[in-house]
Chains A and B, each alone.
Chain A
Amino acid sequence: MARRFDPFTVDRRQFLGLAAAGGTALLAQPLLSGQLLAEPAPQKAAFGIPVEDLQAVMAVAMARGGTFADLYFERTRSVSLSLEDDKISRAYTSSDLGMGVRVVKGDAVGYAFSEVLDLKAMKQAAATAAAIADGKRDGKPATVQVAKLPKYYDVDYRFAAIDLAKKKALVQDVNGQIRKKDARILKVNVSYADSDREVLILTSDGLLAHDHQPMMRLTAACVAEQGGRRETGSYNIASRHGFDLFDPKTVTRLCDEAVRRTVGMFEAVTPKGGEMPVVLGAGPSGILLHEAIGHGMEADFNRKNTSIYATKIGKPVAEKFVTIVDDATLPDARGSIHVDDEGTSGQRTVLVDGGIMASYLHDRISAAHYGLKSTGSGRRESFRHVPMPRMRSTYMQPGPHRKDEIIASVKKGIYCESFSNGQVNIGGGDYTFFLKTGYLIEDGKLGRPIKDVNLIGNGPDTLSKISMVGNDLLIDEGGWTCGKNGQSVPVSQGMPTVLVKSLTVGGAA
């Protein structure tokens, strides 16, 4: 459905949302991360722009004494198809091209972009961005070297090259399968979306990086009716894998989950609200990490001393079996990146190491502020935006407990299966996440399904109340999108089964 963005009604906070959520096993395989290896630049970089033109634009950007600058070129092409009432009668395509120039002077940033890639327009943008500084250039231009990037995703074609008929057939297949599964299904909505984003980054250090960032998502949503009661549910899978991800088995699993999450709601009740033990199911529950700790660990908030975690590095915040990471290196994950949007290699960052607060998520500005290296967390929505510290794939490492013993330990509480969105107050630490599907727990066993209630807690308080961590880490395969200061970026998250001793659950009085 269309959502109108109104900057005056949306709280200026950080949020996370998605089309739907769910999970399957995707093994976390942290790869070695480190400095980018480099080789000399060719005459022409990607986008057909001569390297000497790039250098000329960079010279304008640095002319007034900026300490650092980057040029960010982007071409994104995307297609989406939607089916409703058994017809694919809506499609949307988008073609976007442009470049942004950022000039940094200390903590201050000048930014401008151009949607026209001719030298005059690019130099104009560079001159506008350079105005944040008011001196003269010190130092000489760096020699341009091309970065060799790692491979956490690898699609050697463009989605546009795939016959639209194949994409249509996939969407129609999902509709057909769901229609056959359950006679109570009243309406089916299926959407398919893919995009090819190509980026080229040149930093004032001379690093030139080029990446192709593929993305796709398939979503099924249903409405079902039984005895006059209607319910809705959905499931989606998102990935940087190529089109062949959607093999028959995966498509059938998506259909099964969409139907189960709809017709299963006929039995659902609203729980009684209040504080209670909460078991977070493996996978999508990683939303808790995203909201309760991830945003607060973004170093821009900490260098400004506005995060509740601003003085916590090196201090114990959770039990010893709690280790939380933010990782750009998971194979094909929506949150994975080979290079961040300011030229630093994609890597794995440990936020909490055995219960001790270990590292913030840094971009170049915050890393310079703290005298550290960037963690490769500088990301941006597009060439129209400045980069800032962002999450990639956020998850908790497996712990010592079994799922069944965790559930059995709860006398009266809830078990959470899937979520739709969350939000956090960075400084106060209060965060929320909205439960789409789950179950009551009574005497250590799962009971009636529950749905559509908000959970609320305080970040550091919740971390200290994580009392059991399962051995069943699951990275959620759903298409999560993280919003911060008006910019959206794709992310992933994961979680083993976890017990939080107490959270406030919305519900009946």
Chain B
Amino acid sequence: MSGKSVNSKALALADRTLDLLKKAGVHQALCSVRLSRSVETQARDGKIEKLQEAQSASLTVHLYVDGRYAAHNTSDLRPAELQAFLADAVALTRMLDPDPDRSLPEASRAAKSTDALALFDPAYPKIDADTRKRLVLEVDAASRVDKQVISATANFSDEDTDWAIAASNGTRASQRATSYSLGTEVTVGDGDKRPEDWWYVGARTLAGLQKPAEIGAEATRRAIARVGAKKDPSGKFTLVIENRAAGRLVSHWLQALLGGNLQQKRSFLDGKLGANIASPLLTLRDEPSLAVSMGARSFDREGMAAKPLALVEQGVLKNYYLDWYYAQKLKMAATTGSLSTLSLPGGSGDLAKLMAGIDRGILVTSFNGGNSNSLTGDFSLGIQGRRIEKGALAGPLTEMNLTGNHTTFWQTLRGVGGDPYPHSSLRMPSLVFEGAAVAGS
């Protein structure tokens, strides 16, 4: 990683836009600009099937005019068109209802940084079409070694994003970031059925990606493990939720932490700050400065300087996700309105260790649909995975539903792995829950 700062075209454009707004009489505004270049390369069954290249610009202005607020987005950056767009935007904003809680964050929160986290991979400019093709074809070849494989589609995408925010409260921040994704989806034969599974990895640097051969083999191993899956009778089970799937479960729970849901009375965690809301094994932190994570950032969408946030400490609720607006409405201190990187520290051991001693349980390898109600905490999710018998993996399961309520479910957390999933901004370890209600046949 290069620690050097890169001139941000996005920041220059945000500065210019803010000037244009000032000339138009708008003195409270935030401008966010994203300029990106991305390439996607796809291979299927030994051949390149898709090549896609894209350069994209997106400019959003958040306007605070006479106590009124609106946001406006455009991709058309030609000077005359941009000027006309801003004039329309200001006129529309003036027509809304005034709201005393609408304002930019106070100046002390404004981010002033350029590439504070060094998220740009110096190897990025050297990546060419041949490198991209070689990577997907290697993944593809490794995924099709087994005769049970019907088809596999491997994908490599790389992106270079220049993101900047300038605002009238003094915010002036930018970050240039690269990201890569490499993986494949594999389909195998199983009578009339064609079970599928996938393995995708993400990284900020090309060197940080898992080896293509390992990726292809992992996806195929997972797809073959799905062969013969069926449902078991309904019952209460000890569940081990694999790290890859755990992010999905926690993402539903996180909805109840959002300022908008709290203020609009749609959260089961309303009024629970300081209360015990989960097993003491649950500690959750938002960690924006973890540079290797896909969620890394030095400022948030409102231009506030990012800082670590303790959400839950040993089962006790410590903080919510509060953006500036809902913090004003709730008369609380703003934290940040959105997740960066979520971590759950304190666990140890791998899946085998977590399964040891479980007489009869289920390993959940992925969820299938389902949803959650942030007001009541009720959730119900389709699951697939493997049976656990006497501490060891047994046959594959599918077509079953896990149903519970977040207020009681997280109290049954009785094991946490030391295996945070590195390919997501939700870096969840594998989790063990006791006595979960699973419906099947």
Contact indicator A428/B73 (Cβ below 8 Å): no
- Residues of chain B lying within 8 A (CB to CB) of residue A451: 373, 378
A6 to B98, CA, bound (A): 34
Interface of B is mostly: strand
Chain B 330-356 interface mask (CB, 8 Å, partner A; 1/0): 000000011100000000000000000
Residues on A with C-beta less than 8 A from B50 are 108-111, 132, 386
- Cβ B439 vs Cβ A93 within 8 A: no
Which secondary structure dominates chain A's binding surface?
strand
A side interface size, CB within 8 A: 95
Known: A9-B248, A427-B195. A111 touches B71 (CB 8 A): no
Q: Which of B96, B339, B374 has the most CB of A within 10 A?
A: B96
Q: B237: nearest residue on chain A (CB-CB)? A: A509
* Number of chain B interface residues as a range: 35 or more
Tell me if A107 and B49 are in contact (CB < 8 A): yes
Give chain B residues whose Cβ lies under 8 Å from the Cβ of A456.
368-369, 382, 399-401
Q: Is the CB of B96 within 8 A of A93?
A: no
Q: How far apart sit A16 and B268, CA to CA, in the bound complex (Å)?
A: 25
Q: Mark B76-99, 1 if CB is under 8 A from A, else 0.
A: 111000000100110011011111
Query: Would B380 and A454 count as touching, CB distance under 8 A?
Result: yes
A199 at the B interface (CB under 8 A): no
Shortest B58–chain A CB gap in Å is: 9
A8 touches B438 (CB 8 A): no
Interface-facing stretch out of A57-65, A147-155, A415-423, A488-496: A415-423
The segment from B110-118, B134-142, B308-316, B418-426 found at the interface with A is: B418-426
**In A436-494, which residues have CB < 8 Å from any B CB?**
451-458, 460
Q: Which of A13, A305, A430: most chain B Cβ within 10 A?
A: A430
Of the candidates A89, A165, A421, the one whose C-beta lies within 8 Å of that of B68 is A89
Q: Is the CB of A305 within 8 A of B150?
A: yes
B78 cross-chain contacts in A, Cβ below 8 A: 116
State how many angstroms separate the Cβ of A310 from the closest Cβ of chain B: 7
A34 touches B (CB below 8 Å)? no
Contact of B69 among A79, A84, A90, A506 (CB under 8 A): A90
Interchain CB contact under 8 A, A453 and B229: no
Interface residues of A in 13-31 (CB under 8 A from B): 13, 15
A15 to B370, CA, bound (A): 10
* B53 touching A432, Cβ below 8 Å: no
Query: Which A residues lie within 8 Å of B226 (CB)?
Result: 428
Quick one: which of B77, B194, B381 has the most chain A CB within 10 A?
B194
B131 at the interface (CB under 8 A from A): no
Q: Judging by beta carbons under 8 Å apart, are A454 and B196 in contact? A: no
Binary contact readout A165-194 vs B (1 if CB under 8 angstroms, 0 otherwise): 100100000000000000000110100000
Assuming A108-B47, A454-B381, is B95 touching A506 (CB within 8 A)? no
Chain A positions within 8 Å of B108 at CB level: none
Chain B residues with CB below 8 A from A226, complex form: none
Chain A contacts for B384, CB-based, 8 A: 430
User: Which B residues lie within 8 Å of A120 (CB)?
Assistant: none
Instruction: Say whether A432 contacts B368, CB under 8 Å.
Output: yes
Cα distance, A441 to B352, chains bound together (Å)? 43
Would B234 and A423 count as touching, CB distance under 8 A?
A: no
Considering the complex, give the chain B residue whose CB is closest to the CB of A165: B95
Give chain B residues whose Cβ lies under 8 Å from the Cβ of A460: 192
Q: Which residues of B contact A6 (CB under 8 A)?
A: 247, 294-295, 424-426
Is B54 touching A384 in the complex (CB atoms < 8 A)?
yes
Residue B198 interfacial (CB < 8 Å):
yes
Q: Which residue on chain A has the smallest CB distance to residue B153? A: A304
Give A434 to B102 CA distance when docked, in angstroms: 36
A-B contact pairs, 8 of them (CB 8 A): A6-B424, A9-B247, A95-B75, A110-B51, A115-B75, A304-B151, A421-B371, A507-B401
Chain A residues at the B interface, C-beta cutoff of 8 Å: 1-2, 4, 6-9, 11-13, 15, 79, 81, 84-85, 87-98, 107-116, 128, 131-132, 164-165, 168, 186-187, 189, 223, 225, 230-232, 270, 273-275, 291, 304-308, 310-311, 384, 386, 420-434, 451-458, 460, 504-509
Q: Which 6 A-B pairs have the closest CB atoms?
A: A273-B439, A432-B369, A427-B194, A506-B401, A423-B369, A89-B99
Contacts A230-B265, A232-B266, A427-B195 known; list 5 others, CB within 8 Å: A1-B260, A11-B368, A274-B440, A430-B368, A432-B370
